[in-house]
Amino acid sequence: MQNLEKAFPGKEKSWYNRIAAQCYKFYVEDFLEFLSFPRYFNHEKIKFNNIQILDDALKENKGVIFVGGHFGSFEKLFYTLAHKGYVLCGVAYKQKDSVADKFFKTIREKYMQRQLYKGGSSTDLKAALNNNEMLILLSDQDARKKGKMVDFFGIPSSTPAGAAILHKRMGSPIIFFSITKINNQYHVNFKKINASTRLNIDQIVQEYTLALENTIKRNPEQYFWFHKRWKTSHS
């Protein structure tokens, strides 16, 4: 509720309550379906609106830095892309509980080439891109002092910069992705992030952060508002 009030100030209390309730419902259902992967999910429910953007990026043969946030049914998107023959390498936070960590990793590695851990060796990240894989980075959690301060809903927010740094080092294109549930279908959109040589790392981070913000504004009930997004002070 605090995150919603920060991102959407001035709304009626009933609006916050409604969005929060819808958010809980969305993620409970999504998590239960995640547990069934890959056996029971019908990937035909996924509709790709502009997948040519992704295909063109892969033709550069530099890998793709696949950037998004904790919005929508992103695990369903990854599963479906793998089913279509795309090679994915995921980067995730290591769970504090070792049993839970192994549980999630086992499910994801049924449809990902492998799952790496955030904060691990950059050599593995570079190897994935050199192999022309899609390197998945969910770049919207509070990155503390290591992050770049960019605006997210008009609030200076510590944001992971790994995607921008890798782009500068490797020259790999950054593709922003979103997946939105509309009725009983999931609509996927891709956007190539403007990361020209004249932009610095902060500006690139702002580009993909703004793309996520615009996506969330259209369907705020499908964003994972439960994490402490604004934990790091900008003072």
pLDDT tens per residue across span 161-177 = 999 999 999 999 999 99
Would you mind telling me the total number of residues written for the chain in this entry?
A: 235
CA distance 29 to 12: 26
CA distance 162 to 96: 22
The DSSP symbol for 71 reads B
**Model confidence over 22-35: pLDDT tens digits?**
999 999 998 888 87
Tokens for 201, please give them: 């790392």
State the pLDDT at residue 107: 76
Mean pLDDT, range 208-233, rounded to an integer: 95
In 87-231, which ranges are continuous DSSP H helix? 98-108, 122-130, 162-170, 201-218
Mean pLDDT, range 77-101, rounded to an integer: 85
Residue 220 neighbours by CB distance under 10 Å: 18
Q: Which residues contact 33 (CB under 8 A, 6 or more apart)?
A: 40, 41, 73, 76
Question: 60-69, 84-93, 186-195, 213-222 — which is least confidently predicted?
Answer: 84-93
* Helix and strand element counts for the chain (H, E): 8, 9
Mean pLDDT, range 195-212, rounded to an integer: 91
Cis peptide before 156 (omega within 30 of 0): no
Helix (H) or strand (E) holding 4: helix 2-7
Give 14-60 as a DSSP string: HHHHHHHHHHHHHHHHHHHHHTTTTTS--GGGEEES-THHHHHHHTT
Residue with tokens 């490797």: 170
The pTM (predicted TM-score) of the whole model is: 0.91
CA distances from residue 171 to 9, 126, 166, 174 in whole angstroms, order as listed: 39, 11, 7, 9
- What is the Cα 17 distance to its own chain's centre? 25
Tokens for 223, please give them: 């964003």
